[in-house]
Amino acid sequence: MNQSFRAMLARDNFVVVDTETTGLERPAEIVQIAVIGKHGDILLDTLIKPKMKIPLAATQVHGLTDEICQDAPIWPFIRPEFLNLIAGKDVIVYNATYDRKLMHWSDEMWEDVHIDYKQSASWHCAMEAYAEYHGERHPFYGSYTWQRLAVACQQMGVETADKLHSALADALATLMLCEACTKDLPIWRSGL
């Protein structure tokens, strides 16, 4: 991991976030969110009832259906708790731009007040940090090549749950990937 990512981890004030969604393109919204602490403690793990129907293509990725989410709270009820959990923290996400974008789209879907999530916390993308750490260059663009979370974990010898693509499993995998890439940092000696 690069020096700024390592420095953020060393500050020891972070949470890890992951979401599952109805899709990759607008309109799409969050159907599951998890927030964990630095030692893997679960701070938030909930399904979210979407306003739109969950497309079959999304269900095939994460296994969530309209029936599974029908009794879950809606995004406007979860958002205040989420904002409270990340307030003043360093937030680590595997593909932070995507998850933040889906938060904005969920806000729009529910016609909720626009929030700049970057104002609530400092966001850090573990996917970009790992791409630089791994060092593989994209043959056309020349930038570091992003790896899927499951691939990055496999490359680092991180054992993951049988099935990634639940918000909690992906958040835990992201935390373990950060640990594997920065074992020399003192924070990892105290927990996990």
Q: What domain range includes position 115?
A: 3-183
Query: How many C-alpha atoms does 108 have within 13 Å on its Cβ side?
Result: 11
Q: Examine the pLDDT at 90 and tell me if it is beyond 90.
A: yes
Are 83 and 50 spatial neighbours (Cβ–Cβ below 8 Å)?
no
Q: Please tell me the total count of domains within the chain.
A: 1
- Whether residue 191 is contained in a domain is answered as no
Q: Could you tell me the CATH number of the domain that includes residue 85?
A: 3.30.420.10
Name the residue with tokens 């990512």. Answer: 5
Query: The whole model's pTM is what?
Result: 0.93
Domain membership of residue 59 (yes or no) is yes
CA distance linking residue 44 with residue 58, whole number of Å: 22
pLDDT at residue 143, rounded to an integer: 87
Give pLDDT, residue 3. 86
Q: What is the mean pLDDT of residues 111-132?
A: 95
Q: Flag whether pLDDT at 132 surpasses 60.
A: yes
Statement: residue 191 has pLDDT above 80? no
* pLDDT for residue 163: 61
- Examine residue 192 and state whether it is found in any structural domain, yes or no: no
Please report whether residue 94 resides in a domain. yes
Taking the C-alpha atoms of residue 73 and residue 130, their distance in angstroms, rounded to an integer, is 33
Q: Determine the average pLDDT of the residues in 47-55.
A: 97
Residue 189 falls within a domain, yes or no?
A: no
The answer, yes or no, to whether residue 84 has pLDDT greater than 80, is yes
| Residue 192 clears pLDDT 60, i.e. is over it | no
